[in-house]
């Protein structure tokens, strides 16, 4: 294609010239494939690669290119062979691409592999059920898949981290659907995946809750396709009628009879969306674009083609070339549409005049002066839409020219577009082979593009772009380092031996430091641990250790250290990280691997005290037997004792007795804890005593579990004063406490006579105020008042008041000649009746 | 408990987090520093996202101790709106789920994993088909995964995280609402809480930028500071302009303060009634004029073993969210010494009465309309007055008991080192009278901490008394208190098992802990304990208000005491210069000293980039690692009123008092009677 052919050369009008579509040839293919229909193909979006396997259901003549063993070939969009993946697993059911441009391959046994572009893979399974009944089909989207099992159940996988398969609602199908498709979770209202199954003449929509029959009657449907934004659905009936509806089946948009044009008697081989508003149907020698109003454009192909739906168009590859077909973007149209009088078109024209030194340039600018800013914006945007650098430049020049006439114009868009186009042109270069459009680039982000370049081992370009866009180069560097290590080994195998560990480590570290220094980011963000892991994985332990030493984050070093059986270092690093969960991770790992003795010895090192603390917390909840062993081995007698006591909590008396004995023994072995040992002896005696009390009461009364005080009180309450006194003697209960206990106990059973006798038995060591206060607080005012006379005279008036005996209080004042106090009482007395009484007494005082 | 709708004003919509939202226009009052309401929105949205990730109706199984924090974020209706059909407590026993989806919400603790495994195994054995989802707060851990794997149910459960961190409790107070953090860190040596606290503070920094300076005291504070610095994501590189520093107070640097009886209004409510997750349980008559509860009531999550409705322990009591937002009276009362609360209530009653009488003065229709307009506000104020009058009436007699006054006297004497031996006898008397064991243990710890220990003979006698009176099950508690050096036997052995208590007398002198101040117009933070300034508060003052450590501020006039506003002369806050000037005092307190300056680079700006306010006040954030008391909060609020140009944002792992602290140090089986 000539570099300077006018953009409109690739345009075709539709809808009576009101809308244009353009089909641009991006690459002539480098591959030597004669007929794409011999292959099953999966194409990645955003100008991504193609995965091809031979379609074994088709008989082909074996030529030179043929292969006997099944294999998956990965090609870039320009037909460059990226990778060959030999396949020795069960029959492939489906291939698809993730958002991160990894290839998902699902086999009939229900296991799926995820390959990166280097051919490395990880493998996951859809579970045992899927394995038993087999998988018959699947749909793969950017962040998950839905598989159909042999018994027509639907299993969903979310994400690509090997998540657990979720069973979707039962579809009630009894035979495989005519065709089916899914709406990815991020495009549904519920944010959960929705499966569409063509069944008989209708469509069933299934999610994880229910299966809804959409009650259509136009089927059976042979093909269905969901638009890239998930809003529309294209249905193709077996009779060849194309019908577009909203994906909630509420609105019908358009219809088109594909049999209208006689040549297309058979159903198309592909039905794919071109952006969100047109559909592409492909037959062996023709591709037919059906617009939103049923208008069509025909594109002849000399060999079978394969189309990949994009968010802003459709990519079509054939054995010869790779085309991109899309609706002409508004900005391009406004500039280039024949006869366009839009400000953008005039501005573009004006620049032309300017270059030819024609005065018309100035005239044109004047003419569009009010819309000049919009015209500049349109030219900038149109530049982004062009693939040819020649036209990009001319459009940007026009924008720059217009800009010069504007007083205030923010140049950010202009500068960004210039930068972006540089990036896009570099990635579109056929050797790289990513024909990404401006819309796709903004949709997926620059970071994403850099990751894609990195995944293709285009480290140099990715780094240059990172630097150009001021993005952190770390992910690229990391990938580079890993690739470097792998390659060094491959090279080494052929030659004398591995490339020297020190040299390689040095090379990697210096590269990181060089780039990071340039970026002013410091060493942050560099993850040596992951690189070290790579080295470890391919068996270069020494290199791994060396690299790991450069890892600044302790947490990241731990998993690898564990793999390398560097237990002590791993545990130390985990503790240093401050993340207790990481410490647990190491602990549980070591506990499984080491024998208990070695494990305890390691954990109990003084510098690893955090680890032993955490082990104790964990073991207290789950493994008390292990904890017992640990304390025993470590001579932690106090802890052993307490553990023994805790274990006997809520147990039978006999068990508690033995636990207390054990505890007492542990305490007694420790010179610093003779008090505790003694206390345990007391506790033991108490339990035995309480048992006897219970026995004596024929099990009618409960004593076990009470404290010494409570037992005494219970004895008083149950009329066993002698027993209570025995407790006082045997446990050497001090008088004061004994008196309070008895006071409280007798009050609680209202044994006021007993209390009186007790009060008189000897001089109270606690005085009589507690009697008054306690009785009054329990509402026994009369009984309380009886003890006031035995209290400190100075406090008596207040104490009478506390018992509600105002008159006695007043008389007390009178007796003591304390007029002030009496007046104070008068002031606070609760009612006039008492008031009068107090007044009367007051009057009798002189 | 997930409560009925409470009176928080609607927080700003989280989607439009902008500089304006974060920074209130008022520039130099003692008012709130940053609008922390966004954290509530963030936490709420994360919860909704978590629930929505499970399609359809679901049964929610909730860890009991998470209900309180969640109740501060959301109402039951929100959960219902997002498909929660029934709620159960996460407790052992069979689960009776009626929906296919079961959602577990709990912290990543071993015991919960065991319960969940047990329930799933049981349901699987019964051939029940459920989809199990487990949301771990604040993150999923390999430990939990390991346990679920060992129990053989790992494959059955979808595990995800629900990152619940700081919850705004008041407009100047963020809490992580964790219980038992002190025990975990300092007794068990489980430093998970430090790690999670660092994560929470990093999240905070993501909203407001890096703390320009991190200052702290204590070994755990040091660890926290290190983690904040080392775990900082590379993207977070802009230094905050709104904040001037973060002060980390490690609970272990001041064990005396929480053990003392709090004497502020809110402190006493906590001591006597108990405030849990900002809620109190009170007699319904206190709230009688309150608008009727939503007709649906509160569907209390029920024990999974029983029918889905349980009656609360005390059916008569009602829950009330005790907050200053929407309750201006409480705002004025909460930090006052209880001694002056009565007066303040009287004044308020008189003012309200006068306002009501205002209707008689209404002559014209316009005046009448104006009065009617005020009526709603008056009724609210009336309600608040009723509540606070009732509360203080409930508390007042409790402060008149002999036991209460005796314990205060013991505390005051111990703090002044006045006849320590006599105080130990008085504690023994309290034991004889069977005072609550929490109180006895608190006093005993205070005695040991203030006197450098207790003579072994006296101590053993006290311990014996405690064991005989309250039961031998308290023996492990005593051992725990000993291992934390809260109780120390004298003489110290040559090689002490545990570090000796810090030299209290010297600290008291250096930090001027004893300081008399009028209760109605405080001149020093010591008003919260009637003459004793908390060490923690003094440590903060050593950084932010150096002059106040050396001498009380001038006598405050009545106007200042009345409203806190209108004081003409407030000194300008001095810039943060670390611990400068108090190095000697700091050496007396155990633990490392932290003072780090965080530098940013030209990275991406933080989520919320406020314009540099030159004339605006800066904000100092204080973080209590291991919990703080309401009195400590009151002292910080008092500090904020003393100087202009500095505001405070208080953050804590949780709110504690002496009794909850002591209870957390007991073994699980220990018996505790409620204090009041």
Condensed to tens digits (0 to 9), the pLDDT of residues A116-175 reads 888 888 999 888 888 888 899 999 999 899 999 988 889 999 889 888 888 888 878 888
pLDDT value at position B296?
38
CA-based end-to-end distance of chain A: 131
Q: Is B158 helix (H, G, I), strand (E, B) or coil?
A: strand
Any idea where the domains of chain B sit in the sequence? 37-165, 265-278+322-398, 402-501
Residue in the block written with tokens 């072995």: A669
- Looking at the complex, does the CB of residue B475 fall below 8 Å from at least one CB of chain A? yes
CATH architecture type of domain B37-165: 3-Layer(aba) Sandwich (3.40)
Count of alpha carbons within 13 angstroms of residue B582, beta-carbon side = 30
Contact check, Cβ <8 Å, A706/B471: yes
Strands A39-43 and A50-54: antiparallel
Q: Which pairs count as long-range contacts for A661-668, CB under 8 Å and 24+ apart, including other chains?
A: A666/A637, A666/A638, A666/A640, A666/A641, A667/A637, A667/A638, A667/A641
- Helix A721-730 to helix A674-696 angle (10° resolution) is 170
Interface of B with A in 3-32 (CB under 8 A): none
Say yes or no: ipTM exceeds 0.90. no
Tell me what pLDDT residue A544 has. 83
CATH class of B402-501: mainly alpha
A454: closest CA of chain B, how far (Å): 22
B167-170 long-range contacts, CB within 8 A, separation 24+: B167/B39, B167/B40, B167/B43, B167/B69, B167/B72, B167/B73, B168/B36, B168/B37, B168/B39, B168/B40, B169/B72, B169/B278, B169/B323, B170/B323, B170/B324, B170/B325
Residues of chain B with pLDDT under 70: 1-33, 288-315, 554-569, 601-616, 669-671, 674-676
B483: nearest CA in chain A?
Answer: A638
Q: Are B196 and B170 in contact (CB under 8 A)?
A: no
Q: What is the pLDDT of residue A161?
A: 86
C-alpha atoms less than 13 angstroms from C-alpha of A517 in its C-beta half-sphere: 6
Contact B168, B69 (CB under 8 A): no
> Mutating which of A190, A570, A584 best tests the B interface, going by the most B Cβ atoms within 10 A?
A584
| Residue B308, pLDDT score | 36
Query: Are the C-beta atoms of B609 and B237 separated by less than 8 Å?
Result: no
The minimal CB distance from A584 to the residues B143, B231, B463 is found for: B143
Strand pairing class (A111-115; A121-125): antiparallel
Please identify which residue in the block is written with the tokens 């280097």.
Answer: A118
Report CB contact under 8 Å: B227, A578.
yes
Q: Please, are residues B251 and B591 in contact by the beta-carbon 8 Å criterion?
A: no
* DSSP output for A9-61: GGEEEETTTTEEEEEEEEEE-----S-GGGEEEEE-TTT--EEEEE-TTS---
Looking at residue A188, its pLDDT comes to 84
Q: Do B475 and A679 touch (CB under 8 A)?
A: yes
Q: Residue B315 has what pLDDT? A: 54
* Chain B residues lying within 8 Å of A525, measured CB to CB: 234
The mean predicted confidence, pLDDT, of chain A is 86
**Nearest-CA distance B237 → chain A (Å):** 11
**CB spacing of B434 vs A610 below 8 angstroms:** no
Q: How far apart are CA A669 and CA A45, in angstroms?
A: 74
Residues B198, A680: C-beta atoms closer than 8 Å? no
Query: Which residue in the block uniquely carries the two structure tokens 């042979």?
Result: A222
- Degrees to nearest 5, angle at CA A196 with A194 and A202: 140
Q: Please classify residue A619 by burial: count the beta carbons closer than 10 Å to its beta carbon, then call 0-12 exposed, 13-18 middle and 19+ buried.
A: buried
Q: How far apart are CA B568 and CA B556, in angstroms?
A: 11
Q: Best interface-test mutation with A: which of B99, B237, B427, B475 has the largest number of A CBs within 10 A?
A: B475
Q: Please, how many CA atoms are within 13 Å of residue B219, restricted to the half-sphere of its CB? A: 7
Pick from A235, A273, A231, A227: nearest CA to A254: A235
- What pLDDT does residue A15 have? 78
Q: How many residues does chain B have?
A: 676
Nearest CA-CA distance, residue B99 and chain A, Å: 11
Name every chain A residue with its beta carbon within 8 A of the beta carbon of B668: 646, 649
* A214, A218, A219, A223: CA torsion to nearest 10: -90
- By the CB < 8 Å criterion, does B230 face chain A? yes
- B465, A581: Cβ pair inside 8 Å? no
Q: What pLDDT score was predicted for residue A557? A: 84
A683 SS3 class: helix
Residues constituting chain A: 846
Helix (H/G/I), strand (E/B), else coil: A69:
coil
3-state secondary structure B424-436: HHHHHHHHHCCCC
Q: Report whether A152 contacts A173 (CB < 8 A).
A: yes
pLDDT at position B292 is 42
List CB contacts (< 8 A) between A736 and chain B.
Answer: 428-429, 432
Alpha-carbon distance of A377 to A411, in angstroms, equals 10
Residues A535/A548, Cβ–Cβ less than 8 Å: no
Distance of CA B104 to the CA centre of its chain: 26
Kindly state whether B296 is in contact with chain A, defined as any CB-CB distance less than 8 angstroms.
no
For residue B168, which phi and psi values (nearest 5 degrees)?
-70, 120
Which candidate, A457, A455, A473, A474, places its Cα nearest to that of A99? Answer: A455
8 A C-beta contact, residue A255 and residue A242: yes
In this structure, what token pair is assigned to residue A846?
A: 């002189």
Give the pLDDT score at A8.
84
Residues of A in contact with B155 (CB under 8 A): 164
Map tokens 């034991």 to a residue. B431
Q: CA nearest B401 in A: which residue?
A: A773
User: Which of A167, A709, A741, A747 would you mutate first to test chain B, the one with the most B CBs within 10 A?
Assistant: A709
Pairing of strands A241-246, B131-136: unpaired
CATH 3.90.830.10 corresponds to the domain B265-278+322-398: yes
Taking the C-alpha atoms of residue A212 and residue A202, their distance in angstroms, rounded to an integer, is 11
Cis geometry, peptide bond prior to residue B195 (ω within 30 degrees of 0): no
Among the listed residues B116, B156, B166, the one whose alpha carbon sits nearest the alpha carbon of residue B136: B116
Low-confidence ranges of chain A (pLDDT < 70): 1-4, 58-68, 261-265, 489-499, 515-526, 846
Whole-number pLDDT of residue A524:
53
Residue carrying the six token digits 């501005």? A347
Element containing residue A72 per DSSP (H, E): strand A71-75
- Work out the burial of residue A59: count CB atoms within 10 Å of its CB; fewer than 13 is exposed, 13-18 middle, 19 or more buried: exposed
Decide the pairing of beta strands A180-183 and A166-167: unpaired
């Amino acid at each position: 294609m000539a570099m300077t052919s006018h953009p409109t050369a690739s345009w075709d009008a539709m809808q009576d010239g009101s809308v244009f579509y353009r089909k641009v040839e991006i690459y002539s293919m480098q591959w030597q494939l004669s007929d794409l229909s011999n292959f099953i193909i999966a194409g990645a979006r955003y100008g991504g690669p193609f995965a091809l396997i031979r379609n074994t259901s088709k008989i082909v003549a074996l030529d030179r290119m043929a292969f006997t063993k099944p294999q998956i070939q990965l090609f870039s969009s320009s037909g460059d062979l990226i990778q060959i993946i030999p396949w020795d697993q069960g029959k492939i059911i489906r291939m698809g691409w993730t958002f991160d441009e990894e290839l998902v391959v699902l086999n009939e046994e229900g296991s799926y592999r995820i390959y990166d572009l280097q051919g490395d893979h990880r493998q996951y399974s859809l579970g045992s059920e899927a394995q038993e009944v087999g998988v018959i089909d699947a749909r793969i989207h950017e962040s998950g898949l839905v598989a159909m099992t042999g018994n027509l159940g639907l299993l969903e996988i979310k994400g690509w981290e090997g998540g657990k398969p979720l069973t979707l609602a039962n579809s009630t199908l009894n035979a495989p659907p005519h065709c089916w498709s899914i709406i990815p979770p991020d495009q549904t209202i519920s944010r959960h995946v929705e499966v569409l199954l063509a069944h008989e003449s209708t469509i069933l929509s299934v999610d994880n809750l229910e299966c809804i029959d959409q009650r259509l009657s136009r089927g059976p449907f042979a093909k269905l396709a969901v638009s890239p934004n998930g809003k529309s659905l294209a249905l193709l009936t077996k009779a060849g009628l194309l019908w577009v509806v909203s994906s909630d089946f509420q609105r019908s948009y358009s219809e088109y009879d594909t049999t209208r044009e006689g040549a297309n008697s058979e159903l198309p081989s592909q039905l794919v969306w071109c952006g969100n508003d047109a559909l592409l149907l492909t037959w062996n020698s023709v591709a037919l674009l059906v617009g939103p109003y049923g208008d069509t454009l025909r594109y002849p192909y000399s060999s079978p083609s394969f189309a990949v739906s994009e968010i802003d168009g459709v990519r079509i590859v054939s054995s010869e070339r790779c085309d991109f077909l899309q609706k002409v973007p508004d900005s391009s149209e406004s500039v280039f549409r024949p006869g366009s009088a839009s400000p953008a078109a005039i501005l573009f024209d004006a620049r032309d005049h300017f270059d030819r030194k024609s005065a018309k340039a100035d005239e044109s600018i004047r003419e569009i002066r009010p819309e000049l800013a919009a015209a500049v914006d349109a030219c900038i945007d149109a530049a982004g839409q062009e693939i040819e650098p020649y036209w990009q430049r001319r459009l940007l020049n026009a924008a720059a020219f217009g800009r010069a006439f504007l007083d205030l114009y923010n140049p950010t868009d202009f500068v960004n577009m210039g930068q972006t186009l540089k990036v896009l042109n570099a990635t579109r270069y056929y050797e790289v082979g990513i024909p990404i459009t401006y819309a796709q680039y903004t949709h997926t982000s620059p970071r994403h593009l850099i990751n894609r370049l990195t995944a293709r081992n285009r480290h140099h370009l990715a780094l240059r772009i990172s630097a150009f866009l001021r993005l952190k180069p770390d992910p690229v560097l990391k990938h580079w380092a890993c690739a470097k290590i792998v390659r060094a080994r491959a090279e080494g195998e052929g030659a004398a031996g591995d490339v020297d560990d020190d040299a390689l480590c040095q090379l990697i570290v210096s590269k990181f430091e060089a780039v990071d220094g340039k970026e002013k980011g410091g060493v942050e963000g560099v993850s040596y641990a992951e690189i070290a892991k790579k080295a470890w994985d391919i068996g270069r332990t020494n290199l791994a250790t060396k690299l790991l030493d450069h890892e600044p984050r302790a947490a990241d070093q731990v998993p690898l250290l564990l793999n390398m059986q560097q237990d002590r270092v791993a545990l130390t690093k985990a503790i240093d990280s401050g993340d207790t969960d990481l410490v647990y991770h190491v602990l549980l790992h070591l506990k499984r691997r080491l024998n208990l003795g070695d494990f305890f010895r390691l954990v109990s090192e003084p510098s690893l005290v955090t680890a032993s603390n955490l082990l104790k917390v964990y073991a207290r909840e789950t493994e008390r037997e292990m904890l017992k062993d640990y304390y025993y081995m470590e001579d932690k007698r106090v802890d052993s004792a307490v553990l023994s006591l805790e274990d006997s909590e809520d147990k039978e008396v006999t068990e508690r007795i033995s636990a207390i004995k054990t505890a007492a023994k542990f305490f007694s072995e420790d010179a610093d804890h003779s008090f505790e040992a003694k206390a345990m002896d007391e506790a033991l005696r108490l339990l035995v005593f309480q048992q006897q009390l219970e026995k004596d009461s024929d099990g009618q009364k409960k004593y076990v579990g009470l404290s010494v005080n409570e037992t005494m009180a219970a004895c008083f309450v149950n009329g066993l004063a002698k027993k209570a006194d025995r407790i006082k003697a045997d446990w050497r209960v001090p008088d004061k406490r004994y008196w309070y206990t008895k006071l409280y106990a007798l009050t609680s059973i209202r044994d006021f006579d007993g209390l009186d006798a007790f009060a008189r038995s000897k001089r109270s060591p606690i005085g009589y105020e507690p009697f008054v206060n306690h009785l009054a607080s329990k509402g026994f005012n009369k009984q309380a008042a009886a003890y006031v006379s035995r209290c400190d005279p100075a406090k008596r008036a207040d104490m009478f008041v506390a018992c509600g005996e105002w008159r006695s209080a007043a008389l007390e004042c009178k007796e003591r000649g304390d007029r002030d106090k009496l007046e104070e009482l008068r002031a606070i007395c609760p009612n006039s009746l008492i008031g009068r009484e107090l007044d009367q007494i007051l009057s009798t005082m002189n | 408990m997930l409560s009925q709708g409470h009176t928080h004003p609607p927080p700003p919509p989280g989607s439009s987090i902008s500089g304006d939202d974060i920074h209130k226009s008022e520039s130099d009052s003692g008012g709130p520093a940053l609008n922390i309401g966004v954290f509530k929105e963030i936490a709420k949205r994360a919860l909704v996202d978590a629930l929505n990730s499970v399609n359809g109706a679901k049964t929610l199984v909730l860890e009991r101790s998470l209900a309180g924090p969640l109740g501060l974020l959301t109402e039951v209706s929100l959960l219902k709106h997002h498909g929660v059909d029934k709620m159960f407590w996460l407790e052992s026993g069979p689960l009776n789920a009626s929906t296919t989806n079961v959602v577990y919400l709990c912290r990543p603790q071993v015991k919960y994993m065991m319960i969940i495994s047990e329930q799933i195994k049981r349901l699987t054995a019964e051939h029940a088909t459920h989809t199990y989802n487990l949301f771990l707060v604040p993150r999923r851990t390999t430990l939990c995964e390991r346990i679920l794997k060992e129990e053989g149910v790992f494959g059955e459960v979808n595990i995800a995280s629900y990152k619940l961190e700081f919850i705004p409790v008041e407009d100047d107070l963020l809490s992580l609402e964790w219980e038992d953090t002190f025990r975990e860190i300092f007794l068990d040596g489980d430093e998970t809480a430090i790690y999670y606290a660092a994560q929470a503070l990093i999240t905070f920094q993501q909203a407001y930028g890096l703390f320009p300076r991190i200052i702290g005291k204590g070994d755990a504070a040091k660890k926290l500071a290190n983690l904040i610095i080392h775990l900082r994501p590379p993207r977070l590189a802009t230094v905050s302009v709104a904040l001037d520093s973060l002060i980390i107070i490690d609970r272990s640097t001041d064990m005396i303060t929480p053990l003392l009886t709090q004497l502020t209004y809110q402190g006493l409510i906590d001591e006597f009634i108990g405030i849990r997750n900002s809620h109190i349980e009170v007699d319904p008559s206190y709230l009688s004029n309150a608008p009727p509860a939503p007709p649906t009531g509160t569907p209390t999550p029920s024990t999974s073993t029983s029918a889905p409705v349980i009656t609360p322990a005390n059916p008569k009591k009602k829950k009330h969210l005790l907050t200053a937002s929407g309750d201006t009276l409480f705002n004025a009362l909460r930090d006052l010494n209880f001694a002056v609360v009565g007066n303040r209530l009287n004044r308020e009653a008189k003012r309200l009465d006068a306002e009501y009488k205002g209707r008689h003065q209404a002559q014209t229709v316009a005046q009448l309309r104006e009065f009617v307009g005020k009526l709603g506000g008056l009724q609210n104020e009336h309600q608040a007055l009723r509540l606070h009058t009732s509360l203080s009436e409930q508390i007042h007699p409790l402060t008149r008991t002999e036991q209460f006054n005796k314990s205060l006297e013991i505390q005051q004497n111990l703090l002044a080192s006045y006849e320590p031996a006599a105080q130990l006898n008085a504690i023994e008397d309290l034991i004889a009278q069977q005072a609550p064991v929490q109180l006895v243990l608190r006093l005993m710890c205070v005695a040991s901490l203030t006197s450098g220990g207790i003579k072994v003979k006296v101590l053993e006698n006290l311990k014996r008394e405690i064991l005989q009176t309250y039961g031998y099950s308290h023996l492990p508690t005593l051992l725990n208190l000993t291992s934390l050096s809260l109780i120390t036997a004298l003489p110290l052995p040559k090689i002490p098992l545990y570090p000796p208590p810090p030299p209290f007398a010297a600290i008291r002198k250096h930090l001027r802990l004893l300081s008399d101040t009028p209760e109605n117009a405080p001149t020093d933070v010591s008003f919260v304990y009637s003459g004793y300034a908390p060490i923690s508060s003094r440590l903060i003052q050593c950084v932010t208000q150096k002059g106040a450590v050396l001498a009380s501020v001038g006598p405050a006039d009545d106007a200042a005491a009345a409203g806190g506003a209108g004081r003409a002369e407030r000194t300008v806050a001095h810039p943060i210069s670390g611990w400068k000037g108090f190095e000697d005092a700091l050496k007396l307190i155990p633990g490392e000293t932290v003072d780090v300056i965080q530098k940013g680079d030209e990275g991406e700006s933080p989520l919320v980039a406020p314009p540099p306010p030159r004339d605006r006040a800066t904000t100092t954030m204080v973080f209590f690692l291991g919990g703080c008391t309401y009195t400590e909060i009151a002292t910080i609020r008092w500090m904020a009123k003393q100087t202009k140009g500095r505001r405070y944002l208080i953050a804590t792992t949780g709110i504690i008092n002496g009794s909850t602290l002591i209870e957390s140090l007991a073994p699980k089986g220990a018996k505790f009677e409620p204090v009041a």
